C-alpha cells in the first residue's frame, strides 16, 4: 500500500458554516505550504501567476486515505462525486470479497497521493494530481448473508421503512457494496470509478452508478456554504466536528470493525424544479424557513445566527412557518436526531415529459439511522411543505467501516478476519 505523506500543511479555508470541518488536505510538490482558497486569491480561474510565485494547483491538494474514520465523511463535498453500488458475484464468497477490499484499499491509498493505480491504470487522470480525491466504501445489508457473516450484520443496517410519498426504484437502490468517490476534478473522479469497477470483476459487478457535483473550490470570492439546485444555501446547520457531541452523533462505537465508522443513508431526490421556480422568492423562503439570498433564518440575523423557532411576525404568525423545512427537520423537533449531510446535486437530462431529471444526491452520515435519518424523514414526509416539490426515487443504507490505520491493511479487515 502506498505510504502516506505526513508533511504538515495548512488546511483549506472553510465556509462560515463549515466550522471545524476538517479537510485533512495537504499540498504536495513545489507549492507545498501555501494555502489554497478563494480567500487567498491564488486559484482564481484565468489568473496569471508569476512563475516565481507559482501557486500549488488544485490538483495537488490531497486528503489522507488513512485515519480512524474513512476519508469522505467529515471533509466538505468536493466539486465532483461518483457514487456506485456493486453486487457480489454468487461464487465470490468471503475470499473474493477480501481480495477485492484489499485491492480497493491499496488503490484508494495510491490515488489519494496522486500515484497511478496498481492495476487497470488507464491514464484518464494523468497530470491532474489527486485533486482532493477520497474513496469511501460501505457495506449493504445484503452483503453479510452472501459471505456467511449474517450473525455479524449490525442492527443499524435493518432496512429503512417505507416513507409516505416514496417512489423508490429498487434497481437504482441498495447493493452489497457502496463506493463514494469525491474529487475536485471530474476526470480524477471518473478515473477512480473506472479503475475500481474494473478491479471489482469478476468478484462484483456494478448495480447502479450516479454522478453528482457541488461548487468548485475558488468559485466564490470568499469561502461560502454551497447552494443546491433550488437555489438555497444548503449545509448551514450541519453538526460540526468541533461540537462536543459530534463524534457521538456521527460515528459508531461498535462492533469493533465499526468503531469510528458511520452509517450513510443515500436518497436520490428529484426536484420538481418547474413547479418550484413558479413560486415567488417569498414563498420559496417560507417553505425552507431561511432567506434565499444569504441563508439567514427568517427569525432574523445572518446565516450562522441560531434559528429562533418561537419568533413571531408583528401579525402574530410564526416567523418560521409550521411546515418550514428547517422547523420540521430540526433536532429539537425530533428528539435530538442528528446527521451529517454531505449531499451533491445531479442533473441527468430531461424526462419524457420535458421536466428536468435533476435534484439532490442526499447523503447523510450518522452513528445510528434510527436516531438520525429515520425519525426526521418520517416527519418530513408528512409535515414538510418542501416535500411536495420533491420525489425520493432511490435509496440506500450502508455501514461505512472505520478507516485503515496502524497495522491494518485494508478496509473491513476487522470484520472479515475478526
Ligand X SMILES: C=CC1=C(C)c2cc3[nH]c(cc4nc(cc5[nH]c(cc1n2)c(C)c5CCC(=O)O)C(CCC(=O)O)=C4C)c(C)c3C=C
Task: Catalogue the active-site residues.
Answer: 234
Among residues 296, 376, 394, 411, which is the contact residue for ligand X, using CB under 6 A? 376
Angle between helices 186-200 and 93-112 in degrees, nearest 10: 160
In this structure, what C-alpha cell is assigned to residue 414?
Answer: 476487522
CA distance 39 to 334: 37
Q: Rounded to the nearest whole angstrom, what is the least distance from the CB of residue 361 to ligand X in the complex? A: 9
The H-or-E segment that residue 358 falls in is strand 356-366
Closer of 185 and 234 to ligand X (Cβ): 234
C-alpha cell of residue 61:
491538494
The Cα 363–Cα 63 span in angstroms is: 20
Taking the complex as a whole, the smallest distance from the CB of residue 186 to ligand X amounts, in Å, to 22
Identify the residue among 373, 394, 397, 412 touching ligand X (CB under 6 A).
373
What end-to-end distance do the CA atoms of the chain give, in Å?
Answer: 21
Cβ at position 249, least distance to ligand X in Å? 11
Nearer to ligand X, 96 or 239 (CB): 239
Binding positions for ligand X, 238-277, rule CB under 6 A: 267, 269, 271
Omega of the bond prior to 190 within 30 degrees of 0, cis? no
CB of 218 to ligand X, least distance (A): 22
State which of residues 110, 325, 371, 402 lies at the interface with ligand X (CB under 6 A).
325
Least separation in angstroms between residue 239's CB and ligand X is 9
- The correct pick among 298, 307, 394, 399 for binding ligand X (CB under 6 A) is 307
Locus of grid cell 457494496: 177
Q: In a 3-state reduction of DSSP, which class is residue 309?
A: coil
* CB-count burial class (<10 Å; 0-12, 13-18, 19+) for 52: exposed
CA gap 26, 34 in Å, rounded: 10
**Integer CA distances (angstroms), 257 to 72, 205, 246, 266, 399, in order:** 18, 25, 20, 21, 10
Binding-site size for ligand X (CB under 6 A) equals 26
Q: Is the link from the previous residue into 202 a cis peptide, with omega within 30 of 0? A: yes
Interface pattern 282-301 for ligand X (x via CB under 6 A): ------x-x-----------
232 binds ligand X, rule: CB under 6 A: yes
Task: Tell me the residue nearest to ligand X as measured from the CB.
Answer: 237
Among 15, 56, 96, 235, binds ligand X (CB under 6 A): 235
Closest approach of Cβ 255 to ligand X, in Å? 26
Task: Judge contact between 216 and 79, C-beta under 8 A.
Answer: yes
Report the residue number, 82 or 232, with the smaller CB distance to ligand X: 232
Burial of 19 (0-12, 13-18, 19+ CB in 10 A): middle
CA-CA distances (angstroms) from residue 39 to 226, 280, 333? 15, 33, 37
C-alpha cell at 260: 469510528
- Which residue in 79, 125, 179, 230 binds ligand X (CB under 6 A)? 230
**Of residues 57 and 299, the one with the C-beta less far from ligand X:** 299
Stretch that binds ligand X, among 65-73, 95-103, 276-284, 356-364 (CB under 6 A): 356-364
Judged by beta carbon, residue 183 or residue 230, the one nearer ligand X is 230
Contact footprint for ligand X (CB under 6 A) = 228, 230, 232, 234-237, 267, 269, 271, 288, 290, 307, 325-326, 329-331, 359-360, 362, 373, 376-377, 380, 390
Amino acid at each position: 500500500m502506498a505510504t502516506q505523506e505526513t508533511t504538515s500543511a495548512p488546511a483549506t479555508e472553510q465556509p462560515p458554516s463549515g466550522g471545524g470541518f476538517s479537510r485533512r488536505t495537504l499540498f504536495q510538490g513545489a507549492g507545498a505550504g501555501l494555502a489554497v482558497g478563494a480567500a487567498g486569491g491564488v486559484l482564481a480561474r484565468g489568473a496569471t501567476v508569476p512563475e516565481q510565485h507559482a501557486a500549488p494547483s488544485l490538483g495537488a491538494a490531497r486528503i489522507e486515505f488513512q485515519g480512524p474514520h474513512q476519508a469522505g465523511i467529515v471533509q466538505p463535498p468536493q466539486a465532483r462525486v461518483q457514487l456506485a453500488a456493486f453486487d457480489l458475484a454468487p461464487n465470490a464468497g468471503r475470499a473474493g470479497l477480501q481480495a477485492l477490499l484489499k485491492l480497493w484499499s491499496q488503490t484508494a491509498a495510491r490515488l489519494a497521493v496522486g500515484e497511478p493505480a496498481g492495476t487497470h491504470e488507464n491514464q484518464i487522470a494523468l497530470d491532474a494530481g489527486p485533486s482532493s480525491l477520497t474513496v469511501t466504501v460501505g457495506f449493504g445489508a445484503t452483503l453479510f448473508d452472501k459471505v456467511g457473516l449474517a450473525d455479524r450484520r449490525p442492527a443499524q443496517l435493518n432496512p429503512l421503512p417505507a416513507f409516505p410519498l416514496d417512489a423508490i426504484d429498487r434497481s437504482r437502490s441498495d447493493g452489497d457494496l457502496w463506493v463514494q468517490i469525491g474529487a475536485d476534478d471530474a476526470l480524477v473522479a471518473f478515473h477512480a470509478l473506472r479503475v475500481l469497477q474494473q478491479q471489482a470483476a469478476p468478484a462484483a459487478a456494478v448495480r447502479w452508478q450516479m454522478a453528482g457535483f457541488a461548487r468548485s473550490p475558488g468559485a466564490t470570492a470568499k469561502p461560502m456554504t454551497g447552494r443546491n439546485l433550488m437555489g438555497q444555501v444548503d449545509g448551514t446547520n450541519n453538526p460540526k466536528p468541533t461540537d462536543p457531541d459530534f463524534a457521538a452523533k456521527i460515528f459508531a462505537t461498535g462492533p469493533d470493525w465499526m468503531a469510528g465508522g458511520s452509517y450513510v443513508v443515500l436518497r436520490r431526490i428529484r426536484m420538481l424544479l418547474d413547479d418550484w421556480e413558479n413560486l415567488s422568492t417569498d414563498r420559496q423562503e417560507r417553505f425552507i424557513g431561511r432567506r434565499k439570498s444569504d441563508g439567514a433564518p427568517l427569525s432574523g440575523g445572518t446565516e450562522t445566527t441560531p434559528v429562533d423557532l418561537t419568533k413571531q411576525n408583528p401579525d402574530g404568525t410564526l416567523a418560521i412557518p409550521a411546515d418550514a423545512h428547517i422547523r420540521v427537520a430540526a433536532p429539537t423537533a425530533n428528539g435530538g436526531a442528528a446527521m451529517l449531510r454531505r449531499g451533491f446535486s445531479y442533473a441527468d437530462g430531461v424526462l419524457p415529459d420535458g421536466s428536468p431529471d435533476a435534484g439532490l444526491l442526499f447523503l447523510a452520515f450518522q452513528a445510528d439511522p434510527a436516531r438520525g435519518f429515520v425519525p426526521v424523514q418520517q416527519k418530513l414526509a408528512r409535515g414538510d411543505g418542501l416535500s411536495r416539490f420533491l420525489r425520493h426515487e432511490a435509496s440506500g443504507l450502508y455501514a461505512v467501516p472505520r478507516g485503515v490505520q496502524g497495522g491494518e491493511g485494508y478496509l473491513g479487515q476487522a470484520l472479515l478476519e475478526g
